[in-house]
Amino acid sequence: MKLILPDGKVLEVADGIRGRDAAKAIAISLEKKALAFSFEGDLMDLDAVIPGDGHFAIITDKSPEAKDLLNHSTSHLLAQAIQHLYPGVLFGFGPSIEDGFYYDMDLPVTLSEEDFPKIEAEMAKIASKNEPIVRKDITREQAAEIFKGNPYKLELIKEIKEPISVYVQGDFTDLCHGPHIPSVGFIKHFKLLSLAGAYWRGDSKNKQLVRIYGTSFYSAEDLTKYLANVEERKKRDHRKLGRELGLFMISDYGPGFPFWLPNGLVLRKTLENFWYDIHTKEGYVFVQTPIMLSRELWEVSGHWFNYKENMYTSTIDEKEFAIKPMNCPGGMLVYKNSLHSYKDLPIRMGELGLVHRHEASGALSGLFRVRTFTQDDAHVFCTREQLNGEIIRLLKLFDKIYSIFGLDYHIELSTRPEKKYIGDIAVWDESEKILAEACSQSGRTFKVNPGDGAFYGPKLDFKLRDSMGRIWQCGTIQLDMNLPERFDLSYIDQNNEKVRPIMLHRAIFGSIERFIGIITEHFAGAFPTWLAPVQIQLLPVNPSIHEAYTEELKDFFQDNSLRVHIDDSEEKLGYRLRNSQMMKIPYTLVIGDNEVKDGTVTYRAFGQKDQITVSKDEFLKLIQADIKEKRLQKAE
C-alpha cells in the first residue's frame, strides 16, 4: 500500500495496517504524538485500518483539526461525568463548536453553574484513568438495545444508515460518528463555562433540554489565555455597552423588538448612509417593498410551505396575509412590474428591508437574535453570461466593506439541503459549480458546508472573525435559478425571445441590527470616528468663563458636518475627562484660557494620554481626514 505524505514522499506499508502503525513507521516519536489520521481529507481514528493507497497525514496537537478532536472528546467526558453524578440523565447531542463544545441533556435534577466544580472534578478523575476511547460498528438492532431507555438516541438511530458507530470509554457508551482522540488521558486542561436551555433538535415544539458549554485545550497556557479572552468578551458585551453608551434598549412590551436610542440611531443611520453611498457607486438602484403581503405570494415563493412556522400572519378582509420574513418576493414583483431587455441587465436592486421572524423567546439575545431586523438586501438579475462576472464583482465588494471595519473572514459554500429544497437537482449542481468557480477565479479559498443552502439555492456564506477571535455568520451570496422560474420572470434577448434571468440574493451586513451588535463588541464600543455617535466632546475648563469660545467651536464644527457635544456640567474637569473616555468619544477637546486667547484647541484622542494643542483649522483637517479615510485608529 502506498501512502502519499504531506511533504510529497511516498511511504510503502503493508495492506490493512492501522493509522497508528503507519505513524510508527514514519517515526516512533510521531506515534507518541499521534491523535488521529487523515486519509484523502477524511479524519479517522488512530486505530482505524487505512483504506488503501492515498494521501495520508498524522494529526497531532499542532494540526488544525486537533482542536475539534479534543473538544468533541471532552464533550463525551462531560457526559460520562454527568452520568456518574446524576443517574437517570438522558443525553442528546454533544458536538464540538468554534470555541469549545456543548452537550444537551435531559437531567433529573436542576443544575446551576455552582455545580461546575463538582462536575469538573469528576471529569478530571475519569481522565486520570486514561481509559481508551474505542469505536465499535454495530447494527441498528444492537444500537436500539444499547440506548433503549433514551428516546433522543432512539430517534437518531432510526435516521442513521448502517453500520452505526458507538464510542466506548470505560463505563460510558455514546452514539457517535467520530473520530476521537485515542484516550481520555489526553484531556487535561478544560473548563465548563455556562448553562443554557436548548430545544431538542432546535424545534420549539420539542422538550427543552439543558445545554452545558465548555472548552478544552492541549496546554494550560492556552486555556488561561482563552479564559482571559472570555472575561474580555464580557466587558465588550454589546448589551452592556448598549446601555452604557445609550445605543438601544429592549422592553418587556416587545421582546425581540429593539428600540433605538439617540446615540444608537445616529450610529445606525451613519451605517445605512455608508451602505447607500457605496452601493450607489457600484451601480445599484434602490426600492422599498411592503412589510405585509398576501398568502398567495408566499405560496408562489415557497416560503409558506418551507418557513411558515417562523412567519407572523394575520387575516385582513377574510384573506390571509403574512409579514415578510424576507424581502425576495417583493423584489420579484418589482422586477416583474416592467418589461426588460438584455440591454437592461444586470439590474442590481438594493433594499434595506425590515423583516420579521418568529424566534423562540429563549433564543432572543440583544441585537444578535431579534424578531425584527433590517436586512441589507440586494437582488442582482443577470444573464447566464454575466453571472460569473457579477459574483466576482460581489466578492470584491464584500472584501472592500469588511476591510473598512477591520474584519477578517473566510468563505463557506453551502450546498443543497437534504430535504427542504425546491427545483431540480441538476440545477442545484450547476449552481454550486458556478459559485465554486467564481471563488477560484477570484483567488479566494472556501470550504464546503454540505446541506446548509437556502431552500431555493446554494450560497456562499461569509464568516467574519472579530478582534476577539470569534466567528460570525454575516454576509451571503445566494445563487437562485428557481425563484425566477416560479415567478415567471423574463427578459427579451438579442433574438427577441423571452429568457429567464438568473438571480443573486446577497447581503453583506446580514442585518443592520446584528452587525451593529458585532461591531460594538469588535470595537469595544470605541467606534471609528466616522461611525461614532458623538465625534467631539468639548470641555470648557470653567463653563462661565470659557462658554462663548466653546459655543463658537461647537458651531464651527457643526457647520463642517461633525457631531459635537458640550459637557459644561458643574463637575470637575478631571471627572468630565474620565466620563468622556468612558463614553468612548473619539476626540475630547479641553478649552481653557490659552485656547481662548490663542484661538486653539487642546485635544486628546480616545485611548491616548497625550494632550495636543493645535489651531482649530488644523484639528478640523485632522478629524476630516480621519473620517474621510475611515481610519480604524484615531489620528495622533
The C-alpha cell that represents 377 in the structure block: 438586501
The C-alpha cell that represents 354 in the structure block: 425590515
List, in order, residues 6 or more apart from 15 with CB less than 8 Å away.
Answer: 1, 52
| Residue 26: C-alpha distances to residues 59, 157, 179, 202 (Å) | 13, 39, 22, 45
Give the Cα separation of 139 and 304 in Å (integer): 39
**58 in Cβ contact with 34 (< 8 Å):** yes
Q: Is 377 left (phi over 0), alpha (psi -120 to 50) or beta?
A: beta
Amino acid present at 428 = W
CB count within 10 Å of CB 595 equals 21
The 3-state DSSP class for residue 514 equals: helix
Beta bridge mates, 54: 3
**334 in Cβ contact with 341 (< 8 Å):** no
CB count within 10 Å of CB 293 equals 17
Give the Cα separation of 345 and 380 in Å (integer): 9
Cα–Cα nearest to 239, from 441, 6, 513, 487: 513
Task: Taking each helix axis as running N to C, give the angle between helix 66-85 and helix 116-128, from 0 to 180 degrees, rounded to the nearest 10.
Answer: 110
Instruction: Give me the torsion for CA of 291, 295, 298, 302, rounded to 10°.
Output: 160
Amino acid present at 27 = A
The C-alpha cell that represents 145 in the structure block: 438495545
Give the Cα separation of 501 and 340 in Å (integer): 10
Catalytic residues: 328, 357, 375, 377, 379, 459, 505
Cα–Cα nearest to 263, from 246, 244, 243, 241: 246
**Taking CA 358 as the corner, what is the angle to CA 353 and CA 361, rounded to the nearest 5 degrees?**
130
Written as one string, the DSSP assignment of 244-304 is HTT-EE--TTSTT-PEEPHHHHHHHHHHHHHHHHHHHHTT-EE----SEEEHHHHHHHTHH
Cα–Cα nearest to 375, from 520, 515, 512: 512
Cα–Cα nearest to 392, from 339, 328, 460: 460
DSSP for residue 600: E
Give the Cα separation of 398 and 411 in Å (integer): 11
In the Cβ-directed half-sphere of 158, how many Cα atoms lie within 13 Å? 6
**Taking CA 94 as the corner, what is the angle to CA 88 and CA 95, rounded to the nearest 5 degrees?**
180
Phi, psi dihedral angles at 356 (to 5 degrees): -130, 135
Task: Taking each helix axis as running N to C, give the angle between helix 616-628 and helix 543-559, from 0 to 180 degrees, rounded to the nearest 10.
Answer: 50
Helices (H), 116-248: 116-128, 140-146, 151-159, 220-236, 238-244
